[in-house]
Amino acid sequence: MRHKETWGLCLLVIADALSTYWLITRGYATEFNPLMNWLIQLSWGAFFGVKFAVLAMAVGLAEWYRRRNPQFVRRWLRAGALAYLTLWVVGAAVSSLVGW
């Protein structure tokens, strides 16, 4: 994992997971994604486990395919990180407003 796009996506997902935990446990927000909300109801371990397992699969696949088409992977990781960041910020804002 030596590519900045991969590190950026990983840091973004970690920040999202930790902020989700912090906001929900303090009553400032609710989880917008029904599947992730269901996992939180099961346990925070389930939430973090699934969150990081999906990240590991995505990063693993991207790094595997990068050897075949590095430009494609770079573009899609950047686009994915931008989409993730956008959904995270909008979701946190909406959830915070609704949660109050």
Amino acid identity of 86? T
Structural domain count of the chain? 1
> How is 4-25 classified by DSSP, letter by letter?
HHHHHHHHHHHHHHHHHHHHHH
Give residue-wise pLDDT tens across range 55-99: 999 999 999 999 999 999 999 999 999 999 998 888 777 776 765
Can you give the residue range of the structural domain that contains 41? 4-99
What is the per-residue pLDDT for 29? Answer: 82
Give residue-wise pLDDT tens across range 1-17: 578 999 999 999 999 99
Task: Answer whether 47's CB lies under 8 Å from 36's CB.
Answer: yes
pTM equals 0.84
- Where does residue 59 fall: left (phi above 0), alpha (psi -120 to 50 degrees), or beta otherwise? alpha
Amino acid identity of 49? G
